[in-house]
Amino acid sequence: MTTGRGSIGFRRSGRLSLALALACPLACFAVSPASAQLFSDRPPPVPPASVPDPGAAVSLAPPSGPGAGPVPPPLPQAVPGPPVAAIPPGAPAAIPPVAPPPAAAPNQGVLSLSARYGKDLPNINGGLVWRVFADRPDETGAFKMLREDRGPTPNIVLPPGNYVVHVALGLVSAVRTVNLKAETDREAFLLPAGGLRLEGRVGSSKIPQNQISFAIYKGSQFDGRERPPVVPNVAAGDILMLPEGTYYIVSNYGDANAVVRSDIRVQASKLTDVTVTHRAAVITLKLVSDKGGEALANTAWSVINPGGDVIKESVGAFPKVVLSEGDYRAIAKYEGKVFERSFNVVNGVDGEVEVLAR
């Protein structure tokens, strides 16, 4: 479902569990500085006052309520791990062998950790960040992080006792308290995560990365609820790891009225490629004394639609504006005088609009 002048197309690649087993350049998982910092080396979280019971089901958000003990929250930002690579159709899965956990040393236990995309879905073979915390605060009131590991199936050796284990994959996370004895404790987590990659097109051309941005919201655009974005600014080509579910995308081509809203669904263990097609064009404005003449500098511009709404304002000799297809008027103010001209925007046809200073 889409609103705005444009359309959306998407396809799903192979399961991410297989993709994570293959190599690709780190750029596959990079986020531009202008995007939300999804994968940054931020300090570890400080657990709040809530700990699930040992053996309880894993959830994507920490439990809350009176009387609960400490637990680290799901990370709003995750740290980088092995990148996700697309799998060519029919390519064999290269699943690395899982080493058996080492035997526990005297007075030591082994936490053998693993994660899956779902109960009946594949193992997650990369991109995970594991953190083990003490289950009680120290004398400063902080919950000390004891171990961090970024392997798919780490075996962490610790003295027997109670610990809090937190795992994150992109924006998906889970937490559990464990009671470790002087033996091997195998803990398997469920992280129903799916990948999302976005790009924009106008006509038959791909929109340059620096001219388009996306915001991701939870739920459908049609349910009538106001909410903040899950990710406010995503660059084209970035891969996001999100909890499976329904989202809507707000795609902004330029900074005027070329906006498309689209509902999409993210599925666990799959990479969804979304292409948002805008019906718009880039228009350059010029105020000239004679047709084909030099543009006059220091001109103040307003672009309005047939209803009289101001779509874009700017100052300069050659301002560029991205506009949805349709009819507009360009109003130029120069040295106390006002000049204007009506014009039409055709989808995918960039052009120049000259306004005569007469």
Q: Each residue of 6-35: pLDDT tens digit? A: 766 656 665 554 333 323 332 333 333 333
Given this model, what pLDDT does residue 10 score? 56
| Among 322, 37, 326, 314, CA closest to 207 | 322
Report percent pLDDT > 70 for the chain.
70
More confidently predicted of 31 and 72: 72
93-133 residue pLDDT tens: 444 455 555 555 668 999 999 999 999 999 999 999 999 99
For residues 211 and 49, the model is more confident at: 211
**pTM, 2 dp:** 0.71
Residue 219's pLDDT band (cuts 50, 70, 90):
very high
Domain residue spans of the chain: 2-10+193-278, 280-356
Burial 182-210 (b: 16+ CB within 10 A, else e): eebbebebbbbbbbbbbbbbbbeeebeee
Higher confidence at residue 11 or residue 337?
Answer: 337
CATH 2.60.40.10 is right for the domain spanning 280-356? yes
The runs of H, that is alpha helices, within 147-194 are none
* pLDDT in the model for residue 107: 81
| pLDDT tens digit sequence for 165-174 | 999 999 999 9
| pLDDT band (50, 70, 90) for residue 77 | very low
268-317 pLDDT, tens digit per residue, is 999 999 999 999 999 999 999 999 999 999 999 999 999 999 999 999 99
Task: Give the Cα separation of 250 and 214 in Å (integer).
Answer: 6
Per-residue pLDDT tens over the stretch 35-56: 333 333 344 454 443 444 433 3
**Predicted local confidence at residue 225, as pLDDT:** 85
Residue 26's SS3 state is helix
The per-residue pLDDT for 36 is 32
Share above pLDDT 90 across residues of the chain, in percent, rounded to a whole number: 65
pLDDT band (50, 70, 90) for residue 210: very high
Any residues with CB less than 8 A from the CB of 242 and at least 6 apart, and which? 170, 171, 172, 193, 194, 195, 196, 216, 230, 266
| Nearest Cα residue to 271 out of 190, 169, 193, 216 | 193
pLDDT at residue number 341? 97
User: In this predicted model, what pLDDT tens digit does every residue of 183-208 receive, in sequence order?
Assistant: 899 999 999 999 999 999 998 899 99
User: Matching CATH topology for 2-10+193-278 and 280-356?
Assistant: yes
The predicted model gives 199-223 an average pLDDT of 95
Confidence of residue 237 (pLDDT cuts 50, 70, 90): very high
Q: Which CATH code for domain 2-10+193-278? A: 2.60.40
Lowest mean pLDDT among 38-47, 154-163, 218-227, 257-266: 38-47
Residues 325 and 258: their CA atoms lie apart, in Å, by: 9
Please state, rounded to an integer, the average pLDDT across all residues of the chain: 80
